[in-house]
Amino acid sequence: DAGVTQSPTHLIKTRGQHVTLRCSPISGHKSVSWYQQVLGQGPQFIFQYYEKEERGRGNFPDRFSARQFPNYSSELNVNALLLGDSALYLCASSYLYGGRRDGYTFGSGTRLTVV
């Protein structure tokens, strides 16, 4: 079985640009959550989607948006990139929202560097 797949794995963007990160959850999982991780800190919650509806949003500016598609894959979009957006972006797949029953299965992440 394929695990959680994220693309791209690495990305370099210039300040002010826009970026789209993609995630395909494990087959049968209906929830996708997005986390941002910077060095030395734990993953910070950005968004949670369950059954294509937004179920939670973290303390991130409106430049961050996301959506979940009918096949449960998800996109995270970030507009007007800032240097501080440089981070590892993790996608977490779960059967129930928030990984409540079995926890999350994580993808390998997208390493975004903003220059």
Partner 1 sequence: ILNVEQSPQSLHVQEGDSTNFTCSFPSSNFYALHWYRWETAKSPEALFVMTLNGDEKKKGRISATLNTKEGYSYLYIKGSQPEDSATYLCAPNTNAGKSTFGDGTTLTVKP
Contact residues: partner 1, CB under 8 A: 4, 33, 35, 40-45, 48, 55-56, 58-59, 90, 97-109
CA-CA distance, 43 to 115, in Å (whole number)? 22
DSSP single-letter state for residue 51? T
Supply the minimum distance, in Å, between the C-beta of residue 16 and partner 1: 29
Supply the minimum distance, in Å, between the C-beta of residue 55 and partner 1: 6
Render 74-85 in DSSP notation, one character per residue: EEEEE-S--GGG
Measured from the CB atom, the residue of 48 and 81 that comes closer to partner 1 is: 48
Neighbours of 72 (CB within 10 A): 21
Supply the minimum distance, in Å, between the C-beta of residue 53 and partner 1: 12
